[in-house]
Amino acid sequence: MVEPLQTARRAFEPVESLAGRPGVGEVLRFFARERRWIDEQHLNLCRIPAPTFLEAKRAEWLEAQFSALGWDAKIDRAGNVTAQLPGAAKDGPVVALTAHMDTVLAPRNPEEIRIDGKDRFLGPGISDNGAGLAGLLAIAKAIVTAPSVEHTQRLLLVANVGEEGEGNLSGMKFLCRQSPYAARLHSILVLDGPDTTHITADALACRRFEVTVTGPGGHSWSDHGMANPIHGLARAITWYADARDEEPPRRGASSWNFGVIEGGSTVNAIPASARVKVDLRSESPGELDDLANQLAVTLERALLAENERALTGRVTGKIRETGSRPGGHLAEGASILRHILAVDHHLGIRSRRDCASTDANVPLSMGIPAVSIGAGGQGGGAHTANEWYAPDGRDLGLRRAFLIACRLLEEAAPA
């Protein structure tokens, strides 16, 4: 792995001078001039369903688009699409510009991705992460229209799989740990959603579990009093939530969510099993471990209570960890932060550092400089059927991402 270049305090020209270079200026003007083309690509890619674990068709489409624009594109073993310019350096550091392909919800048909009367784009995944993927394509095309931009041979474009939900950042884990580029990553700039006011430089750790409770089952009348898995599980959920509400976290902000609950087969049968999926998050790894330990303790207590009150039968339970997202922090004063703040000052963007769970979690946990930023425009309703995106302001976000990438590429280039 390339050593983090927080020590590389090169003298960089002002962003104003960088933006004024002929090739760079041409790219910056491209984003406003080609707005219609970018919008069309955005709608087209979002019409290809890509729920987590089923991103293959969208990956094939993106590979074809990058190739048509003149990039050397391929799909790796994880399912990520990677693209570099022809003749790209085969060794030395690379700067990765990434956006995840998968969505929480997927359109049932192409017509579900549409434009409303206010020129807003509507449909599942249109903002998260249609905005980021459209940004990747826009930057890819802009660069080939201005071949005089320096150091782009070290730029790696990545459309990755597995960011959402139970994907557990699988695409980014492969890129950083197993891919041919893993040892060469200088820094990673993640495009996720549209919002340009945030700089996600602190990775929110996350652990996910599936809790299953089982019992003998029976008839709701003739077996009344039988130990009931749903009753025991419901008691565990309630007790856990009540306890966490009464005892605030001691070592950083935390959250807990029981997001999916299933069990039983019919209203007049005592169920033989019940299960729930749990999402735990915390800014503190120690606090996250406490949340997980308390889940196990609460489940045991709830099972004991259900078995004590039952007239017959008994329930048992088990907890299985289904996913983990590592935490991490970008060092104060890291060069990537300095570059972002300098670009934001130049563009008049008022941004703030924040903490969230994104693809940047993986590189940050490994000491690779990384941040997640928005690709421009406005959006809302992420992870719902009412998701929307407005392209006004997209060009500002893309100018920002490109100028940050230029700074990182200068830093990565051999002295």
CATH 3.40.630.10 residue ranges of the chain are 15-203+327-412
Amino acid identity at 136: L
CATH 3.30.70.360 residue ranges of the chain are 205-325
CATH number among 3.30.70.260, 3.40.630.10, 3.40.50.1820, 2.60.120.260, domain 15-203+327-412: 3.40.630.10
> Hey, which residues does 325 pair with through a beta bridge?
206
Pairing of strands 185-191, 94-100: parallel
Both tokens of 94, joined, read 């690379």
Crossing angle of helices 22-33/394-412, nearest 10°? 150
Buried b (16+ CB within 10 A) or exposed e, 166-199: ebbbbbbbbbbeebebbebbbbbbbbbbbbbebb
* Helix and strand numbers, DSSP H then E, in the chain: 11, 19
CATH number among 3.40.190.150, 3.40.50.880, 3.50.50.60, 3.30.70.360, domain 205-325: 3.30.70.360
Burial of 219 (0-12, 13-18, 19+ CB in 10 A): exposed
Find the largest Cα–Cα distance for the chain: 83
Crossing angle of helices 35-46/56-68, nearest 10°? 150
Burial of 327 (0-12, 13-18, 19+ CB in 10 A): buried
Contact present, 238 and 265 (Cβ < 8 Å): no
- Give the up-direction half-sphere exposure of residue 264: CA atoms within 13 A in the CB hemisphere: 15
Q: For residue 169, how far is the Cα from the chain centroid?
A: 7
Nearest-angstrom CA–CA distance, 289 and 296: 11
Question: Which residues fall within 8 angstroms of residue 9, CB to CB, at 6 or more apart?
Answer: 335
Amino acid identity at 304: L
For each of the chain's 415 residues, which pLDDT tens digit applies? 444 444 345 668 899 999 999 899 999 999 999 999 999 999 999 999 999 999 999 999 999 999 999 999 999 999 999 999 999 988 999 999 999 999 999 999 999 999 999 999 999 999 999 999 999 999 999 999 988 899 999 999 999 999 999 999 999 999 999 999 999 999 999 999 999 999 999 999 999 999 999 999 999 999 999 999 999 999 999 999 999 888 766 677 899 999 999 999 999 999 999 999 999 999 988 899 999 999 999 999 999 999 999 999 999 999 999 999 999 999 888 999 999 999 999 999 999 999 999 999 999 999 999 999 999 999 999 999 999 999 999 999 999 999 999 999 999 998 7
CA distances (Å), 178 to each of 171, 184, 268, 363, in order? 10, 11, 51, 13
pLDDT number for residue 342: 97
Both tokens of 101, joined, read 């392909």
Pairing of strands 94-100, 155-160: parallel
Buried b (16+ CB within 10 A) or exposed e, 362-397: bbbbbebbbbbbbbbbbbbebeeeebbbbbeebbbb
pLDDT number for residue 2: 45
Question: Which residues fall within 8 angstroms of residue 245, CB to CB, at 6 or more apart?
Answer: none
Q: What angle do CA 298, 301, 305 make, to 5 degrees?
A: 135
